[in-house]
Amino acid sequence: MNRAALAATLILAACSHDPSKNGSGGGEGGIVDVAPLRTDWTPEQLKAACEEAQKTCDAKLAKIVAVKDSERTYANTPEAIEQVTTDWSEMVGRASFMKDIHRDEKVRAAATACEEEAGKYAARIASRKDLYLAVKAWQGRGEQVGPQDRRLVELMMRDFHRAGVDLTDEQREKLVSLRSRLAELQTRFSSNLDEDTTSVEMSAEELDGMPQSYIGRLKKAASGKYIVTTKYPDYFPFQENAKSAEARRKLEVAFMNRGARDNIKLLDEAVGLRDEAARLLGYATHADYVTEVRMAKSARNVQQFEDKLESRLKERLAADRQKMSEMKKADTGDGTIRAWDWRYYLNELRKRDYALDDEKIRAYFPADKVMSGMMDVYSRLLGVQFKRVEGAPVWADGVSLYEVRDGGRLLAKFYVDLFPRPGKYGHAAAFGVGPARQLQAGYQIPLTILVVNVTPPADGKVAHLTLNEVEVLFHEFGHVMHGSLTTAKYASISGTNVATDFVEAPSQMLENWVYQPEILKMISSGPKGEAMPQDLIESIQEVVGGDHVLPGGSAIALRRRLRPHDERLRRGLLRLSLERGLCRRHVHPVREGRNPQSEDGTRLSRHHPRQGAQRGSRPVAPQVSRARAERGRLPAADRDREAERVELAAFCRSQNPAARKSCAAGAVCVGNSSGTPSAPRARMNVEGVASDSGAFARLRESVSFRLAVPAGLVLLLQIPIALIDGTIAERRTTRNAAFAEVSATWGGAQQLVGPVLTVPVVEPSANGPETVAPRRFFPRTVSVRGRVDTEVRRRGIFDIPLYVARLHVEGTFAAPVETHSGILWNRASVALGVSDAKTIRAATPISLGDRKLPWEPGVGDAAFLESGVQAAVPFPAPPAGAIPFAFDLTLAGSGRLAVVPAGDETVVTLASAWRDPGFDGASLPVERRIGASGFEATWRTMNLGRGFPASWTNPQEVTRERLAASAMSVSFLSPVDTYRTNERAVKYQLLFLGLTFFAFVLFELLAPLRIHPVQYLLVGFALCLFYLLLLSFSEHFGFTHAYAIAAAVVVVLVTGYVRFVLREGSRALALGGFLAVLYAFLFVLLQIQEYALLVGSIGLFLLLSGVMWFTRHVDWYALGSPPPAAKVSERADLSSAAPWSDGR
């Protein structure tokens, strides 16, 4: 046995210790058989099971939290949390695993939803501070426990801290929100790949070079062409054997684009969310957060390791690339190795130099023999036995259930799912769906599902595997053994629940046994049952043991080359999008625009796509069109590179500084087939980009300039705002004109004055004839009681409120104290002032003393009365004592009803069904009641507070103005003056425009993006349009409904447009949410006039505080500056790292 095999044996032995020898493990007390995998779910059953598991877990955790701190033990707190969460995890794990293997699309969709919810729920559990405090309280009791128990608590507390229990409640909720969204993105990302059905139709000519066994199992399309899918058993053999470069290119592009349109967006969002979550926890990057709990311990250690690895691989990769380039040049005249070439020429290289033919090797690897031989190898090494469970229920053909035994003792069970099918998980992985752990009844054995996608059988023949598929099978079976032989006490530390960068170590060592001669003989069987020939084994050995670098090394080199791009992604300097496929191309050798979801996406997925990692498979973005070049003067390869350079340079000039410099670095990578940059072109391209960086360009990129442009646009937008303000005034004038037109015929605002007693008095004169002057008296008491009936009539689009007042007026006049003979009592009269006498609907005769006297039109010489009625009341003799009076009056009016306090004591009581009265005038009601049925109000005033006397002869003492200034009144107008409210709303337009544009500037600076002034203007016009919509809608629907409609349509319009401007839905939703909050804030201000200043100033303070908080770490001086130019040369040097690179 060689050193690798020995090391693997020692590692597995360490991972699978025997608890009976140290007294700390599980396993005593018998075996608890694991339940088989249920696959007969309906979508409804699966959903219900996931929901029930969560409810059960919540209830059990609540009981754990409720335990008193003084009563906490290891069993009822840490161990109980572990077992409860493991029960939940196993339940939802089994259910959600259906998304990876079930045949029913609806069940897979339900399982995907279950997994999304499980991810969110797990994020909430991990950050529950009550659970953390419960465990901490138990720690304070000092209970002694075993080594595994201490390790469980250590990991539990570590994970609590990493889940944010040390954060504030608000920060912790934010972290849970981020991780919940990440769980959703992760599940969708994986499902998009699993559900992808991309295929390419190939003609018989395009299949030239493919073995007949491959062609024989392909389905045919209606066109008669063959359908080649992007599943591994179709893709890898085709790329390695198809002679047509164009056919390989078509399949490569299709393969690399699996799920790309959705997954690029998911990955882009996930990168930002991961970075935000890491920073919230105090880590510089997500990489630092992840590596902290791995053997690497830090992202820096990983970088240093890859640096060393790259230096060791560089020369060997260059030699392979040179050989492949020479082979292609001999075939086509062009030595450029593109992404769809390297697998083919690597295979040709192996055939030529090492006599390795994949199809010849494949003939010796029938699936049944490989499986039985592989189990024989592991059986001999680990001292266990494998038994196939005959008749066990399975979910598809090619699926089998096995038991792992140690003599008569059952250790584990596992399923094997070998062949691809629609909707199945597309990579290769070992899924642990039944955790190993110690229960009260004994040790629960683990259940693992081995999922691979090897070449399926064709036409009823036995399936044969390629050498790479055999290697993958050995690798994944290593994970099965790692999980099956565990005896750890708890699920959290059993099986493959170890550091992520260690979990691959046993499998990677075990997979290398495939290339050992004795192993190759054990797992191979030729057409006649013979083992693989020795010469073929020696050829394989020569490749594996020589200087030749297999695809795994190429993938490592590519990842190293992509590191600067990855770092920029993590810092938010470069975002992923389909629209930016061209700019991404500088870090990928695929001309059509390679999709970085593969490099980062494998880390986003919850699974380990090990088969993809072995083969360097990576999904890619859609095609990017080529620019036209001067094709007549350049060779074919140079024409391609020149076209790409021209297009790339043009694209770069349209980008912001960070993206432009990144593109410039990519342009340097455009070079010749040797991998070194073409100096003249590279220099021209970089200088072409740099030439845009003159004084004006620097000014344009400065923060001050970016702030000044929106500020200038805000001033420019005051022109449409002024026009809208004028429109509001114009509409108010139109409304007032309509009101006046109706009031002129129905009746306007009414003011009641009196009654007034007038008695002529003869005044003697020493120098001339006697004069007769009227002496006027207001009553001593006046009481007005009445009901005001209202109705609303429309004139055009305007509502005009009208009323009819039915009043009863009574009171008393005091007899004048003057008794001289000059008073002409026989010519006395009573006058009643009404603003518009023609609207009097009815008036009963006035009862004055014991007489009833009819009213006559006019008010005589009472100039202080605008209009009204009068009655002659001749007294035969001077009256003695008080003179009572009473009458009823019905008059129509609109807008306002006022009563002048004519008496020394005046009491007015009015009632109406109008629910929104406005009480104004010189005094307010002393009593009032306003409700759904209307209002009732009472005024009481004394003559001491009014501005006119009780009796007078001088007409200057009582005027209309003095009377109006003392009147008590109630208004019957609309509760909300829409035009006045619209004017108030327009006054806040500077706040809306300024804050929205400032948010744009922040996105532009921090994203980074370039937003054109025209785009600012369009958004500004939309914000201005809000006020015009509000005005027009409020005339028809009322202000509240109009405000909601106008705000909603503008928010939707701006959000939808900004989605394309900012190129990311989350940013657009954030801005839309910000606008919605602003509109809600403005609505509140418009409703609370009295507190508008207080609420507005507090709101602005909070807004400013938020901006200062979120930008506290922003280096404003650095925002307008591009990254250092040194990155260009670094990127150029790295461009030659991949074996297929042509310098791009």
Q: What's at 943, amino acid-wise? A: N
Four-residue CA torsion sign, 299, 301, 305, 307 = positive
Where would I find the H helices in 989-1038?
989-1006, 1013-1037
3-class state of residue 889 by DSSP: strand
Of residues 242, 233, 241, 208, the one with CA closest to residue 457:
233
Q: Pick the closest to residue 1053 from 1013, 1083, 1025 (CA basis).
A: 1025
Instruction: Give the integer Cα–Cα distance in Å for 740 and 115.
Output: 68
Between the alpha carbon of residue 991 and those of residues 426, 445, 616, the distances in Å are 53, 65, 53
Q: Measure CA of the first residue to CA of the last residue in the chain; give whole Å.
A: 45
Active site residues: 476
CA–CA dist 135, 64 (Å, integer): 10
466 in Cβ contact with 614 (< 8 Å)? no
- Contacts of residue 812, defined as CB under 8 A and 6 or more positions apart, other chains included, come to 779, 780, 781, 882, 883, 884, 885
Specify whether the CB–CB gap between 319 and 301 falls below 8 A.
Answer: no
Q: Would you say the C-alpha torsion 147, 151, 157, 160 has a positive or negative sign?
A: negative
Closest to 583 in 3D by CA, of 94, 1010, 73: 1010
Task: Find the helix or strand (DSSP H, E) in which 1092 lies.
Answer: helix 1092-1110
Which contacts (CB < 8 Å, 24+ apart) does range 1055-1062 have?
1057/1018, 1057/1019, 1057/1022, 1058/1019, 1061/1009, 1061/1011, 1061/1015, 1061/1019, 1062/1003, 1062/1007, 1062/1009, 1062/1011
CB 232 within 8 A of CB 426: yes
Containing 1109, the helix (H) or strand (E) segment is helix 1092-1110
Burial 639-653 (b: 16+ CB within 10 A, else e): bbbbbbbbbbbebbe
DSSP β-bridge partners for residue 773: 761
CA distance 443 to 313: 47
**Cβ proximity of 575 and 654 under 8 Å:** no
Tokens found for residue 723: 């026009």
Helix axes 989-1006, 1092-1110, angle to 10 degrees: 10
Identify the burial level of 792 via C-beta atoms within 10 angstroms of its C-beta, where 0-12 means exposed, 13-18 middle and 19 or more buried.
exposed
